[in-house]
Amino acid sequence: MDQIPLYPMRFEPIYQYRIWGGRRLADLLTAPLPDNDPIGEAWILSDRDDHASLIANGQLKGQTISQLMEHWPVQLMGKLSRRFSRFPLLLKFLDARELLSVQVHPSDQKTDYIPVGEHGKTEAWVVLEAGHESRIYAGLKPGTTADNLRQAITDGAVADHLAYFTPKPGNSVFLPAGTVHALGGDIVVFEVQQNSDVTFRLYDWNHVDAKTGKPRALQIDQAFACIDFAQGAIEPIVPVMEATMPVERERIFQCEHFHLWRLRGQSPFIVGEIDVPRILVCLEGKGEIEHDDVVYAIRKGDVFLLPAVVGVRTFWPCSAVNLLEIAIP
């Protein structure tokens, strides 16, 4: 098995019940949603012990991303193979019909609040669907202190201290670790983040979990220890246009943990890189790439991991496409 050459790999989504979720991910992903529960998250590339993504195509169908990292580290990660023992990013689609909890994630420097084997959590969102009632809360209003924010929790007035805006499809938001944030009101986003599941809830809008009949637990003290009170209002990112031909290529995020570009067009264009992995996420349209004489079809909602050995490929659109390409710096 270890001698099998790696190839472009598609992964099955891992659906997650969330009390604030909806059913709109059924319009984005081909895998049917489970039951009638509100589904808030689809983890589309996850190297977690409790939720490891399964390969959905090719000779290694049914293997996990964790097994790839263990048995094919150089083929998969190339020159990054010595840096990471597990895949460093976690990718999701979120369907927030209701508001998520007001929450914060620790930075890598907050080691007292990060469980062994975990990391901090810087993340970013690309808005796919939004309406007039949609909201993104990101950062604190001027004058917010630990004391008046604690009082606001008691008074149920946390929203008075949160900066917010009404998002539009295409907006992109970067959330450094330590940023107080939430979103909801019928909004669907793509999320890229460090491979971490450490979240501290500050306030939960008086939600009650229908499955338990109880409110969800808060972690107020841990949240306050991790909040960056200097982080003011966060606005949507202004993309940097890097190319217009043969495809519009916009750089949206560039931080120490991930780089992300949006590619839009209908002429063939280049994806991938030599000796490092890349990830493709198809948001609209469809197309295909070829590797070792095999054609790989990429449809709306698909996530494909291009292992380092795949290198540079040509993406052939079948129609106008909207594609995200993600790199690990």
Q: Which range is least confidently modeled, 35-39, 85-89, 292-296?
A: 35-39
**Is the pTM higher than 0.85?**
yes
User: Is residue 177 assigned to a domain?
Assistant: yes
Of 166, 200, 226, which residue is a domain's last? 226
Are 148 and 297 part of one and the same domain?
Answer: no
Measured between alpha carbons, how far is 329 from 314 in angstroms, rounded to an integer? 22
**Is residue 247 scored above 90 in pLDDT?**
yes
Mean pLDDT of the chain: 96
Same domain, 212 and 252: no
For the residues 98-109, what does the mean pLDDT come to? Answer: 97
pLDDT digits 0-9 by tens, 27-37: 999 999 998 89
Both tokens assigned to 111: 């080691």
End-to-end CA distance of the chain: 29
Q: Are residues 79 and 201 in the same domain?
A: yes
Are residues 270 and 123 part of one domain? Answer: no
Instruction: Please report the DSSP string for 210-237 in residue order.
Output: TTTTBPPP--HHHHHHH--TT-------
Q: Are residues 65 and 190 in the same domain?
A: yes
Same domain membership, residue 263 and residue 139: no
- Judge whether 1 lies within some domain: no
Q: What CA–CA distance (Å, rounded) separates 173 from 163?
A: 13
If one counts the domains in the chain, the total is: 2
CB atoms within 10 A of CB 98: 16
d(C-alpha 287, C-alpha 316), whole Å: 5
Q: In degrees to the nearest 10, what's the CA dihedral of 128, 10, 245, 275? A: 130
Position 207 in a domain: yes
- Contact (Cβ atoms closer than 8 angstroms) between residue 328 and residue 256: no
pLDDT at 3: 79
Domain assignment present for residue 234? The answer is no
Kindly state whether residue 3 falls inside one of the protein's structural domains. no
Residues 289 and 258 in one domain: yes
Task: Determine the pLDDT at residue 246.
Answer: 96
The verdict on 163 and 295 lying in the same domain is no
Reported as a single tens digit per residue, the pLDDT across 115-157 is 998 999 999 999 999 999 999 999 999 999 999 999 999 999 9
Whole-angstrom Cα distance, residue 84 to residue 64? 16
pLDDT band at residue 2 using 50, 70 and 90 as cut-offs:
low
**Which domain-ending residue is among 191, 226, 261?**
226
Chosen domain end from 182, 199, 226: 226
User: What was the pLDDT predicted at 152?
Assistant: 97
- Do 53 and 140 fall into the same domain? yes
**Average pLDDT, stretch 225-247?**
97
Q: Assess whether 220 and 245 both reside in one domain.
A: no
For residue 318, pLDDT beyond 90: yes
pLDDT of residue 17: 96
Catalytic residues: 201
The answer to whether residue 210 is domain-embedded is yes
> Residue 250 belongs to what domain range?
240-327
Q: Is residue 92 part of a domain?
A: yes
For 264-284, the pLDDT digits (tens) are: 999 999 999 999 999 999 999
As a whole number, mean pLDDT of residues 287-308 equals 97
Q: Do residues 120 and 263 share a domain?
A: no
- Residue 35: predicted pLDDT: 85
Q: What is the pLDDT of residue 1?
A: 64
Here the CATH number for the domain that contains residue 46 is: 2.60.120.10
pLDDT category of residue 107 using cuts at 50, 70 and 90: very high
Does 231 map to a domain?
no
Are 32 and 178 in the same domain? yes
